[in-house]
Amino acid sequence: MSLSRIMKWITGGCEAFLGIPFIGGAFIFSTTWGALFIMFILHMVTLFIARNEKGSIAGNVLGMVTSFIGVIPIIGMIMHIITAIVLLIDAAINKH
């Protein structure tokens, strides 16, 4: 399994956690939005790895956007869920 695929599983799982109603929001608030900054960095690292491996980068670009939008409570939760779905499907399908 490639490093980009492993990182997509990890970032997708983290996004799924952050998308859980109330729990994900409480976690983000408890870290004073530090979780969103960490996720942005993880998505950027995964994007560079995927690009170097000639893999798909769409899920991680979406994740970087979600890290900014994640400060808006309801919309952020929806974006985290969508991003998690995109990343997990990409990790499952991607053979790189």
Residue 88: CB partners within 8 Å, gap ≥ 6?
Answer: 8, 9, 12, 13, 16
What integer pLDDT is reported at residue 95 of this predicted model? 67
DSSP secondary structure letter of residue 3: H
Average pLDDT for consecutive 10-residue bins of the chain (96 residues)?
94 98 95 96 97 94 95 94 97 80
What integer pLDDT is reported at residue 90 of this predicted model? 94
Domain residue spans of the chain: 3-93
